[in-house]
A and B are shown apart, each in its own frame.
Chain A
């Protein structure tokens, strides 16, 4: 029988410690929409999305109301558009028309974001992939809800350095195209290595080709809950620390599993995965950085930060894995800068540099995320950062990603506001030394020796 203390604990987690279901994401396969005529392609895409997602937002609201747990976002992810639109789209402009269709569908369904304006080019690029990639700056500046991602490498295939080079330019062009708005377009563009097929978190969500026709994925989050639990074991040893994180992650994930099942039943769409993540928001008390500091660091970025993050990530997974039968996505701790007040503070006080963030990405769940850099940063340097990050993912068989925002017209020390969940970020110093000769080589970095497991 449920007792009053457990009920109060859950409600305290929700109300004071900001436990939430971060997102319900409906993944939709658009493979059956492929068509050689652009108009009918757009019509089919719109109609499939709006048919399947008709009740998505209202169901989310209903579940939120019945269980009393906030569901922050409802989103849609679709099959990478380069795969289904290649037949009809012969130019980047053609692809932009598909982006606009996706944007309209997202708006009409009332979701926060729609992901999947994507290409998977880890080994090589088709003409459709290349056209889609070249259309990204235009697509992201002329739509509001569409998110884009490009997978440029994997442990199995190595790193496609031609794509890395191209993406440096695309990131810059996207920044230029949205410069009136603090280069906002770049917040909707992620470059992946080892991208998972079933990730519900934006901007990198897409519906992989290995997935069913439609599927419900749920992302849970509660950095505040973990921070609060750790406050209770201050000064105790690592065993106690780990045990505490694990137990808390279990409870958080169970809430997500429940919501995922409820959404799946009500929408009559199969349940995919729970992504058990600690994803921060800019509001105070909802920060991954604060958890790390609670472990005993004076500031995030101080020596010990990588170890602290490594244990946090591992315990979150250990606790969460038992709470749900299907765990996937990017499970672990996210370390975006602009979306985490503790990270922003650490950058401002000079404790957290780009290099330390890169080191942290070796053990976090994703990568360099939401980092503002000077608008004057050359495209080849951005490509260099992408290559570094992809190499970490490739060698360590983990997902890594880059979401950098070269803010046009801003220099180191300036603050940039993105608004809402995307927060604000100080423009950070990037290493001044160039790497253009390295990036200009082109070609492909071969996969590492341990990719030969079969």
Chain B
């Protein structure tokens, strides 16, 4: 399983999760976990997704999500899980 962490940070607005999830569903990316907080009007979400069945290249997905973020006015980042597990787990 190839896990990826997607983070979405920015000013809260209606439909952020819907738009991100629609993109993921359209590209065969399965969402496994979502955690989300709103701090002082700022939306802060982390998703753990499985990109095993992703058809396009990883880099294209990163670009698409960045563009989608720009449309909604939030910052969407997409990183393979290992960077976090390696840094924070012994």
**Chain A residues engaging chain B, CB cutoff 8 angstroms:** 1-4, 6-11, 62, 65-69, 251, 254-255, 257-258, 322
A-B CB contact pairs (8 Å), 13 listed: A1-B33, A2-B46, A2-B84, A10-B87, A10-B88, A62-B59, A67-B79, A68-B77, A68-B78, A69-B83, A251-B88, A254-B86, A255-B87
In the complex the two chains form, what is the Cα distance from A7 to B6 in whole Å?
Answer: 10
**Chain B residues engaging chain A, CB cutoff 8 angstroms:** 5, 7, 33, 35, 37, 44, 46, 48, 58-59, 62, 77-88, 90
Residues of the A chain whose Cβ atoms lie less than 8 Å from the Cβ of B35:
3-4
Whether B7 and A8, one on each chain, are in contact in the complex, defined by CB atoms closer than 8 angstroms, is yes
In the complex the two chains form, what is the Cα distance from A228 to B21 in whole Å?
Answer: 35
Q: How far is the CB of A20 from chain B (nearest CB, A)?
A: 13
Sample of 7 further A-B pairs with CB below 8 A, known A6-B88, A69-B83, A255-B87: A2-B81, A3-B35, A4-B44, A10-B88, A11-B77, A66-B80, A258-B82
In the complex the two chains form, what is the Cα distance from A257 to B85 in whole Å?
Answer: 12
- Kindly report which residue of chain A lies nearest to residue B62, judged by CB atoms: A65
* Given A68-B79, A69-B83; A4-B62 close (CB under 8 Å): no
- Kindly report which residue of chain A lies nearest to residue B35, judged by CB atoms: A4
Whether A258 and B83, one on each chain, are in contact in the complex, defined by CB atoms closer than 8 angstroms, is yes
Q: How far is the CB of A101 from chain B (nearest CB, A)?
A: 33
* Given A2-B48, A3-B35, A4-B46; A258-B88 close (CB under 8 Å): no
- Kindly report which residue of chain B lies nearest to residue A6, judged by CB atoms: B88
In the complex the two chains form, what is the Cα distance from A251 to B83 in whole Å?
Answer: 10
* Given A4-B46, A6-B88, A8-B7; A67-B83 close (CB under 8 Å): yes
- Kindly report which residue of chain A lies nearest to residue B3, judged by CB atoms: A2
In the complex the two chains form, what is the Cα distance from A140 to B90 in whole Å?
Answer: 45
* Given A4-B37, A4-B44, A8-B44; A66-B84 close (CB under 8 Å): no
Q: How far is the CB of B45 from chain A (nearest CB, A)?
A: 8
Residues of the A chain whose Cβ atoms lie less than 8 Å from the Cβ of B81:
2
Residues of the A chain whose Cβ atoms lie less than 8 Å from the Cβ of B5:
2, 7
- Kindly report which residue of chain A lies nearest to residue B5, judged by CB atoms: A7
In the complex the two chains form, what is the Cα distance from A11 to B58 in whole Å?
Answer: 19
In the complex the two chains form, what is the Cα distance from A300 to B86 in whole Å?
Answer: 34
In the complex the two chains form, what is the Cα distance from A9 to B87 in whole Å?
Answer: 10
Residues of the A chain whose Cβ atoms lie less than 8 Å from the Cβ of B88:
2, 6, 9-10, 251
Residues of the B chain whose Cβ atoms lie less than 8 Å from the Cβ of A6:
84, 87-88
Whether B86 and A255, one on each chain, are in contact in the complex, defined by CB atoms closer than 8 angstroms, is yes
- Kindly report which residue of chain B lies nearest to residue A19, judged by CB atoms: B87
* Given A66-B58, A68-B78; A7-B7 close (CB under 8 Å): yes
Residues of the B chain whose Cβ atoms lie less than 8 Å from the Cβ of A8:
7, 44
Q: How far is the CB of B29 from chain A (nearest CB, A)?
A: 14
In the A-B complex, the 5 residue pairs with the smallest Cβ-Cβ separation, listed nearest first, are: A68-B79, A67-B83, A4-B46, A258-B86, A254-B86
Q: How far is the CB of A378 from chain B (nearest CB, A)?
A: 50
Residues of the B chain whose Cβ atoms lie less than 8 Å from the Cβ of A258:
82-83, 86
Residues of the A chain whose Cβ atoms lie less than 8 Å from the Cβ of B46:
2-4, 7
- Kindly report which residue of chain A lies nearest to residue B78, judged by CB atoms: A68
* Given A7-B5, A11-B7, A251-B88; A67-B48 close (CB under 8 Å): no
Whether B78 and A251, one on each chain, are in contact in the complex, defined by CB atoms closer than 8 angstroms, is no
Whether A65 and B83, one on each chain, are in contact in the complex, defined by CB atoms closer than 8 angstroms, is no
Most chain A CB neighbours (cut-off 10 Å) among B44, B48, B82, B83: B83
In the complex the two chains form, what is the Cα distance from A7 to B7 in whole Å?
Answer: 8
Q: How far is the CB of A2 from chain B (nearest CB, A)?
A: 5
Q: How far is the CB of B24 from chain A (nearest CB, A)?
A: 17
Q: How far is the CB of B59 from chain A (nearest CB, A)?
A: 5
In the complex the two chains form, what is the Cα distance from A216 to B42 in whole Å?
Answer: 41
Q: Quick one: which of A3, A4, A66, A254 contacts B79, CB cutoff 8 A?
A: A66
Q: How far is the CB of A383 from chain B (nearest CB, A)?
A: 45
In the complex the two chains form, what is the Cα distance from A255 to B87 in whole Å?
Answer: 6
* Given A2-B5, A4-B35, A7-B5; A257-B86 close (CB under 8 Å): yes
Most chain A CB neighbours (cut-off 10 Å) among B5, B44, B48, B78: B5
- Kindly report which residue of chain A lies nearest to residue B45, judged by CB atoms: A4
* Given A4-B35, A62-B59, A67-B82; A254-B77 close (CB under 8 Å): no
Q: How far is the CB of A88 from chain B (nearest CB, A)?
A: 43
